[in-house]
């Protein structure tokens, strides 16, 4: 657990952490991939990371999950990445969105999977967020494909998700893909999210608070929190 008194300090430390993972993978393989979350939390982190001196032309960025909306929607995680991360030095990175013009995630799944083949796998780094209901990525309580998505031995890398609290249809990377990342971070801010984290660290089914599937995985998870 990395705790900060200021959100700006968190953004710098998380950028150091992710930047180191990306640089190490580029040094080893000549390329690296990063998956980031959407929502409201990552804006400051994205803007800080975008200024870092990294080999961006060798780095591909995708999302951990996406709402199945057009990029003109203010709900689009891809739009958030384009506005706040793919700028400054990071403007040279390749971006592979998780949504396309198909009417549903099921209809668009094949094309997204094909586009993701351009990334280098496993991910060098993944940054997760967490909702107040304990969802992470689009692993929502009550999700129609939740069991498959959080199966650590599952064979799928990308899966559609429909859930009562999700707002719109979703598409998400699955747990095994996220757990395979060289560096895995959970980025949360505010006292409310900290209380949700403490609750998730207690007992109970992972399907009630799907972040538990990550917290209980046998691999390191770096949690970044600021008030
Ligand atoms: O819907 C989503 O929510 C979570 C949490 O978002 P936040 O607004 O509470 O930061 C996010 O991690 C996920 O990527 C997004 O699709």
- Is residue 122 within 8 A of residue 181, CB to CB? The reply is yes
- Is residue 75 within 8 A of residue 129, CB to CB? The reply is no
pLDDT value for 137 = 98
Question: Parallel, antiparallel, or unpaired: how do β-strands 125-128 and 32-36 relate?
Answer: parallel
Domain ranges for the chain, please list them. Answer: 2-226
pLDDT value for 133 = 97
Nearest to 206 by CA among 165, 150, 129: 150
> What is the pLDDT tens value at each position of the chain, 227 positions in all?
999 999 999 999 999 999 999 999 999 999 999 999 999 999 999 999 999 999 999 999 999 999 999 999 999 999 999 999 999 999 999 999 999 999 999 999 999 999 999 999 999 999 999 999 999 999 999 999 999 999 999 999 999 999 999 999 999 999 999 999 999 999 999 999 999 999 999 999 999 999 999 999 999 999 999 99
What is the residue with the minimal CA distance to atom 9 of ligand 1?
A: 131
Whole-prediction pTM: 0.98
Specify the CATH class of 2-226 in words.
alpha beta
Q: Is 131 in the pocket of ligand 1 (CB under 6 A)?
A: yes
What is the enclosing helix (H) or strand (E) of 63?
strand 59-63
Cα 39 to ligand 1 centre (Å): 4
What is the residue with the minimal CA distance to atom 12 of ligand 1?
A: 129
**How far is Cα 15 from Cα 5, in angstroms, rounded to an integer?**
16
Cα 196 to ligand 1 centre (Å): 14
**How far is Cα 21 from Cα 34, in angstroms, rounded to an integer?**
9
Joined together, the tokens standing for residue 121 give: 């796998």
């Amino acid at each position: 657990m990395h705790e900060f008194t200021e959100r700006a300090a968190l953004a710098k430390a998380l950028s150091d952490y992710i930047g180191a993972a990306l640089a190490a993978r580029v040094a080893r393989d000549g390329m690296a991939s990063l998956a980031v979350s959407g929502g409201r939390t990552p804006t400051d982190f994205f803007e800080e990371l975008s200024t870092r001196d990294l080999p961006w032309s060798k780095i591909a960025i995708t999302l951990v999950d996406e709402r199945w909306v057009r990029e003109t929607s203010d709900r689009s995680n891809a739009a958030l990445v384009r506005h706040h991360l793919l700028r400054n030095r990071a403007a040279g990175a390749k971006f592979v969105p998780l949504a396309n013009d198909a009417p549903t995630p099921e209809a668009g799944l094949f094309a997204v999977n094909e586009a993701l083949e351009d990334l280098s796998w496993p991910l060098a780094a993944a940054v997760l967020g967490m909702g107040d209901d304990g969802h992470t990525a689009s692993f929502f309580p009550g999700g129609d494909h939740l069991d498959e998505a959080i199966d650590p031995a599952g064979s799928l890398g990308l899966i559609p998700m429909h859930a009562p609290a999700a707002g719109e249809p979703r598409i998400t990377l699955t747990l095994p893909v996220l757990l395979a990342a060289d560096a895995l971070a959970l980025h949360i801010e505010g006292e409310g999210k900290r209380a949700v984290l403490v609750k998730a660290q207690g007992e109970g089914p992972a399907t009630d608070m799907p972040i538990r599937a990550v917290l209980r995985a046998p691999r390191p998870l770096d949690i970044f929190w600021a008030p």
